[in-house]
Amino acid sequence: MQPIKSSEITSEQQYYSRRDFLKSLGIVSTSAMILAACRGQSTQTKVISTQVSAENLPGGTSTVESDPLTSFEAITNYNNYYEFSINKEAVARLAEDFPTSPWQVEVGGLVNKPKTFDIDDFKKFSIQERIYRLRCVEAWSMVIPWMGFPLAELLNAVEPTSNAKYVRFETIYDPDEMPGQRDPWYQWPYIEGLRLDEAMNDLTLMATGLYGKDLLPQSGAPIRLVVPWKYGFKSIKAIVKIDLVEEMPTSLWMAAAPSEYGFYANVNPEVSHPRWSQASERRIGESGRRKTLMFNGYGEEVAQMYSDMDLSVNF
Ligand SMILES: Nc1nc2c(c(=O)[nH]1)N[C@H]1C(S)=C(S)[C@@H](COP(=O)(O)O)O[C@H]1N2
Ligand SMILES: [Mo]
């Protein structure tokens, strides 16, 4: 197996110069426009500035200038994906030949219109770019330019019933292709969950690409969740099943280590992991550490969902 050839990837330089070009044309949602242009259809474009949510944050540290994008190279070669390896640098190579097509996502449970989606069905949703910080519970972080669509669009399409309270996500179970799933230490497949209001929040993204290209296997191809105000483990990869449910789902990490990983897992610099502080983080590609921000800097968009919750005990 070969490492990814640099000729096959979008360099940051190409990415930025394409963005500048499109910006000069007044186009912001880059890849959606390109995709639409290729297919000769029009698409709605939407200006996304979620990276800069933060003039009022302590320290005001969240601007594009102070939060540069992590390189494509780092995003795709430093991965947490236990289905392949617990060694972050080994995932890309081990996942290289993972088959991501054909692929279906079955959406059901407490909904009026259950539906099994093919990957192409998702192109009908408003694919847009979202630049988000990703903060792993292990105290490192990246800034990633995702392509995707709001989970809310998918949920609205299946019409949750009034007794639906949570959304449960399931990764593919394929131990022949995913050597890590032969490790009996974990209860496979990987499971995650959100409360319905969290799932409907506009920040919650179903990602299908990054840096304007389809996701590579190591990043969770062909489709993964991105929940930027929560620790990275909530952002489940390679999703094949989504169920609307009444009871709080038990995630793989809650089952594996309930005293260390909770359901909410909101980024919170004031609540330490039992084995390390969460007050600061290592930004991949930088030396030194950054202060971790409450809700990873997205409090303006999400804090009201937790107004009646004691955040020092709800981990
Ligand atoms: N199915 C699955 N999803 C997963 C994981 C995993 O091991 N398996 N790891 C999680 C963790 S701990 C993090 S930090 C992010 C990492 O995403 P990245 O490798 O794209 O940066 O994916 C999350 N999603
Ligand atoms: Mo993580």
DSSP string, 227-296: -TTB-GGGS--SEEEEEEESSPPPPHHHHH-TTT--SS-B--TTS-BTTB--SEEEETT-SS-EEPPGGG
How do the domains of the chain map onto residue ranges?
A: 6-306
Give the pLDDT confidence score for residue 16 in this predicted structure. Answer: 75
Distance 237 CA to ligand 1 centre (A): 6
Closest ligand by atom to 95 CA: 1
Nearest residue (CA) to ligand 1, atom 5: 81
Per residue in 179-195, pLDDT (tens digit) is 999 999 999 999 999 99
Tens of pLDDT, residue by residue, the chain (315 residues)? 444 444 445 567 677 776 765 555 544 444 444 444 444 333 333 334 444 444 433 334 456 788 999 999 999 999 999 999 999 999 999 999 999 999 999 999 999 999 999 999 999 999 999 999 999 999 999 999 999 999 999 999 999 999 999 999 999 999 999 999 999 999 999 999 999 999 999 999 999 999 999 999 999 999 999 999 999 999 999 999 999 999 999 999 999 999 999 999 999 999 999 999 999 999 999 999 999 999 999 999 999 999 999 998 888
Distance 266 CA to ligand 2 centre (A): 12
CATH for 6-306 is 3.90.420.10
- DSSP-derived letter for residue 90 is T
Per residue in 51-69, pLDDT (tens digit) is 444 443 333 445 678 899 9
Distance 138 CA to ligand 2 centre (A): 6
Pocket of ligand 1, beta carbon within 6 A: 79-83, 134, 136, 171, 190, 219-220, 232-233, 235-238
Residue 190 buriedness (CB in 10 A; 0-12 / 13-18 / 19+) = buried
Cβ contact 260:274 at 8 Å: yes
pTM for the model stands at 0.87
Mapping DSSP to helix (H, G, I), strand (E, B) and coil, where does residue 214 land? strand
